[in-house]
Structure 1
Amino acid sequence: MVLNNVMIPGNDAVLGISISEGKIKQLAPALADDREQLTLVDAIAFPGLINSHDHLDFNLFPQFGNQTYESYTEWGKHIHREYAGEIASVLKIPIALRERWGVYKNLLCGVTTVINHGEKAVINDPLITIFDNCQSIHSVQFEKNWKKRLNNPLKINSPAVIHTGEGTNNAAHAEIDELIKWNLLKRKLIGIHGVAMDPVQAKHFKALVWCPESNYFLLNKTAAIDQLKTKTTILFGTDSTLTGHWDLWHHIRLARKTQMLTDAELYNSLTSLPAKTWKLNTGSIADGFDADIVVAKANRKAGLQAFYEVTPDDILLVMHKGEILLFDESLYHQLTGIISQNYSKVFTGNRFKYVQGDIHGLISEIKRYKPDAGFPIPYPAQPAA
């Protein structure tokens, strides 16, 4: 397949992207090819986004919390006391259904790789990449055997991914020192949140996953990323809908407003840097990389400015390893005869999209367990105008 007439952030030229056997084969100003052609108008193409922190099975929760907390421990105790019934009503939904919805939440936003924090995902055909080649440890406070797990010699070659410093009090800062102190095997640490982290502590981490919307919702503060970025690699994550909006682009624009990362740094925290950190063959649109590609309306903008104005409505196509998982209704006639999978038609706000798989059947199944479960797409499906 060839994606013709797209702009790539960082390259003002209009290019064609040739894709074969799940890989990007060639980029050129004009590609003549005897394979399927998809011609775009006023469009940008960028690597499938990498969400470096989510809990896929927690994305059927609404945001829980009605005050500013000092730490995740205070928040955790509060929600289990105040929202016990609502928590139980979500947890009775089978985990495979909850995880599958978590995948769709990400896919609708152009995410093609998720680093899922927690137990290994139970779904076998997740559409996008669910990365699990690491060791998930919840936190110093909430995981009883964290020291033993951290110092397991059988895991020494895997990065240890852990919530740390998620608070504004002294205990949150001290927790990071305790984690560093007990990393006896000098494992590669990838911290999550790090709101209480300072640059001296940051040097001990291979990377820090920044989840600004979650931080502001719980703590009314986020990590000093402008300082920490000089000492460690900054990746981007959303966390789940327990503490953030379902729409990744909402998170991205909030992060941009802080101006703690440049536009290029923020873009890289969603693409090339996590690909390098997690050792993925994606994160760039270049020859030989996996064809994880998002195409979106440019809305007569160019480069990163076009990227930062994207919404789920603007997404025209999401491709994962060369397979089209989502496309806009405007591309339907070009794709007739090219696509062979089953797709569901969904309404994302102002546009109809076709999404691979039976998303309506999934929602129906979830509602058997929780009739009042909420979704960002209309259900039953909104009829075409």
Structure 2
Amino acid sequence: MTESIQQYSFTLYGARYVKGPWESIAATIQIRAGSIADISQTLCHGPISRNDIDLDGFLLMPGLINAHDHLAFALFPKLGNPPYRNYIEWGEDIHRQFSECIAKHKSIPKDVRVLWGGIRNLLCGVTTVSHHDAFSPVMLTKGFPVKVVQTNGWAHSPALGGNLHAARKATRPGGTFVLHACEGIDDLAYEELWKLDRVGLLDAETVLVHGLAIDAIGVELMRQRATSLIVCPSSNNFLFERLPDISLLAKIEKIALGSDSPLTAEGDLLDELHFIMRYCGVAPHAAYRMVTETSSEILRLESGTGRIKIDGPGDLVAIRDTGQDIAARLPQLSHRDIELVIINGSVQLASEALIDRLPHSLKQCMEPLWVDGSTRWLRAPVGMLLEQAEKVLGIGQVKLGGKSIHIPV
């Protein structure tokens, strides 16, 4: 169903690149065998080989890391009649009130839904995503639109996760154990942190998702246990009409950001970044690190992931260069600004402005998709995937993370 990623050697010239939230410099970047082989401030002003890409007028940033998503729900609408007290109440309600909608969307083949989940992330500049659910084989293929973290173990939550010790034991060496916890505003949500600690599952190997009910004493406990946290504030706001207190939670040593699924979230990861900056008071430079370096550290990703560095992975995103640094751009950045995405040295997305700058060898087998007002060329079988989804939902009725999509004529 998906094509294997082909890795080429090529040079990106003419662009500035992001060294940090407030630092960007002009450089020539060489990609070899899927990694960044060299970064040179000795600029070249033309192609050295036939595969090189002219990025004059663009800013290169590291691929974003989505620390929490449910890839199989990318085509679902937002569901619920909030406010709720906890995640169990929400789950029971939507299966009672929206059972027909859920069954209809689930009748789309799961591989198709999961691939749309990958595309939803790719469109907003995500190159690595942490999927919270059982793996589908298609996620492990080299042609999947983005990289999916494979080393981490998971359980749904303390209440719905089954045998948590068995799930923790199944976590691969070097990985982390990820689970929803404290997702709500009642005593059940509050007590989950302390229950996890009592059974020995709160430590440096554990990563909690949401943490809405964690108070100051809970934050201190997490600091003592060196436990990390991933927040998804727009989901919390929708379900519980409550925002996480980021000024409190930021005292935890490591805190990252996830988009969660369209069932509850505002939109994609860039939308979530806007939300946390606007409504939770997170500064742009801190928000940037939550989707790059800090996410990489929490998820224990390959060295260099979340940064642009020699020997790091060739995961890069190009946006128009306005002369500003990325921290200044972040509050306005949307999927419409993502003009080029390279993952492991393969061009996975290109805008109409950049598709013509790509050498033929780097843009073979890419297909166009219209998304909410803009067209992007993707290394994915979007025609077939849309056809499969429309067989169930109807022609013109498919939305990807709430955004309208179609194949341009």
Fold in common (TM above 0.5): yes
Q: Corresponding residue for 1:26? A: 38
Instruction: Identify which of 13, 18, 32 aligns with 2:25.
Output: 13
Post-superposition Cα deviations, 1:23-72, rounded to whole Å, max 9, x if no partner, equal 11222334336233322243221111110100101112100012211111
The percentage of counterpart residues that share the same residue type is 26
Q: Corresponding residue for 2:329? A: 306
1:202–1:228: 8 Å Cα contact kept in structure 2? no
Runs of 4+ in 1 over 4 A off after TM superposition: 153-157, 184-187
1:53–1:115: 8 Å Cα contact kept in structure 2? yes
TM-score (norm 1): 0.92
Instruction: Provide the rounded CA distance (Å) in 2 between the counterparts of 1:184 and 1:233.
Output: 17
Q: Corresponding residue for 1:178? A: 195
1:233–1:273: 8 Å Cα contact kept in structure 2? yes
Tell me by how many angstroms 1:17 deviates: 1.8
Instruction: Provide the rounded CA distance (Å) in 2 between the counterparts of 1:339 and 1:172.
Output: 49
Instruction: Identify which of 355, 375, 385 aligns with 1:362.
Output: 385
1:343–1:354: 8 Å Cα contact kept in structure 2? yes
* 1:191-202 alignment, distance < 5 Å: 191-198=208-215, 199-202=219-222
The RMSD of aligned alpha carbons is: 2.2
Instruction: Identify which of 327, 336, 358 aligns with 1:335.
Output: 358
Post-superposition Cα deviations, 1:162-184, rounded to whole Å, max 9, x if no partner, equal 00000111221111110121126
1:23–1:288: 8 Å Cα contact kept in structure 2? yes
Q: Corresponding residue for 2:149? A: 131
Q: Corresponding residue for 2:6? A: none
SS at the partner of 2:356? helix
Instruction: Provide the rounded CA distance (Å) in 2 between the counterparts of 1:288 and 1:179.
Output: 38
Post-superposition Cα deviations, 1:301-354, rounded to whole Å, max 9, x if no partner, equal 333112332211111100001110001111222214242530111223343221
Instruction: Identify which of 326, 337, 344 aligns with 2:349.
Output: 326
Tell me by how many angstroms 1:134 deviates: 1.3
Tell me by how many angstroms 1:193 deviates: 0.2
Q: Rate the CA distance shift 1:358–1:223 in 2: closer, same or farther, 3 A.
A: same
Instruction: Give the paired residue count.
Output: 381
Tell me by how many angstroms 1:261 deviates: 3.2
Q: Which amino acid aligns with 1:346?
A: L
Instruction: Provide the rounded CA distance (Å) in 1 between the counterparts of 2:238 and 2:201.
Output: 34
Q: Corresponding residue for 1:83? A: 98
Instruction: Identify which of 110, 130, 145 aligns with 2:125.
Output: 110
TM-score (norm 2): 0.87
Post-superposition Cα deviations, 1:252-311, rounded to whole Å, max 9, x if no partner, equal 101111354332221111111122222223110111100100001234533311233221
Q: Rate the CA distance shift 1:190–1:205 in 2: closer, same or farther, 3 A.
A: farther
SS at the partner of 2:108? coil
SS at the partner of 1:51? strand
Q: Rate the CA distance shift 1:349–1:298 in 2: closer, same or farther, 3 A.
A: farther
Post-superposition Cα deviations, 1:184-222, rounded to whole Å, max 9, x if no partner, equal 695611000000113123223531011111111111223
Instruction: Identify which of 173, 177, 193 aligns with 1:160.
Output: 177
Instruction: Provide the rounded CA distance (Å) in 2 between the counterparts of 1:109 and 1:154.
Output: 29
